[in-house]
Chains A and B, each alone.
Chain A
């Protein structure tokens, strides 16, 4: 079975550019989570969706970050404009109905220069 799929795996961009990260959750899972991980701050929850609806976006750092989930099999996290401090590994995870175990994708390693 395919796990959570994320693309791209690596992204290097210049400050000020728009960055779009993509995630395909595991089929049948109805909750989707976006995390950011850095050495300094550890693993931070940015936003999560339940049945395609954003439930908690309190972790989104600022207005430059936005996330969408147009359907059950696709989500995007967009950063516009990007800044060097956004450099991190961004993980997407999903979980199935009524179960709280989350399954993570391989992550997108973002470098903003």
Chain B
């Protein structure tokens, strides 16, 4: 199976919260990232979390890490239409080369 897995689609109503989930397999992951990609654009680093943390909050974004279950989530509060994009989860491992390994991305669709 894939090293990093995400569901492919999520549809939410404007103003609701979105929760995008990700599971990873490598227990030695050191950094876990969330990137956002809008159509035709590059990847924007939204946030990252060290594996010794279990939560990180940055304005409307909350990242939760369950290291035991190897589960990472990104919560977007008060989702707006401008949040519609593909969200990629990625991991990288200390002691190796820090090469981020990506999931296939979750397409977030926000409708009025």
Partners in one complex: no
